[in-house]
């Protein structure tokens, strides 16, 4: 009897307000610089392929590594210190590094 009363009273409760519809997705506009770079690198790729200067082979014998190897190497470079902090270029023992970003743009002239 008590259980039936609980269900009857629960049916009298107000329904929660319906959730609003999610916003409609809009097409993402890319900046002109991104489009210009995309076009430049596409032209460069086409040119290099036509001249035979861009590798397209998969699992080459002279490059015995795959995506997982590249990812592991990247993570090692990014997330671990190469040298001990506060020492004069002594090799690190593999301590985790604090991930930080540069305060100013880095410019390299080649």
Which residue shows structure tokens 């035979």?
Answer: 52
In angstroms, the CA 91 to CA 5 distance is 74
Residues with Cβ within 8 Å of 48's Cβ and at least 6 positions away in sequence, in order, are: 54
pTM above 0.75, yes or no: no
CB 80 within 8 A of CB 92: yes
pLDDT in tens, 96-106: 777 777 788 88
Q: Is the pLDDT of residue 7 over 70?
A: no
Query: Could you give the maximum distance between any two Cα atoms of the chain, in Å?
Result: 86
Judge contact between 97 and 84, C-beta under 8 A: no
């Amino acid at each position: 009897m008590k259980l039936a009363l609980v269900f009857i009273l629960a049916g009298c409760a107000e329904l929660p307000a319906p959730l609003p519809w999610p916003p409609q997705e809009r097409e993402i506009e890319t900046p002109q610089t991104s489009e210009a770079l995309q076009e430049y690198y596409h032209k460069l790729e086409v040119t290099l392929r036509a001249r035979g200067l861009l590798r397209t082979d998969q699992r080459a014998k002279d490059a015995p590594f795959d995506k997982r190897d590249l990812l592991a190497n990247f993570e090692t470079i990014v997330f671990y210190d190469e040298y001990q902090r506060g020492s004069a270029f002594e090799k690190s023992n593999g301590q985790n590094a604090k991930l930080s970003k540069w305060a100013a743009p880095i410019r390299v002239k080649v």
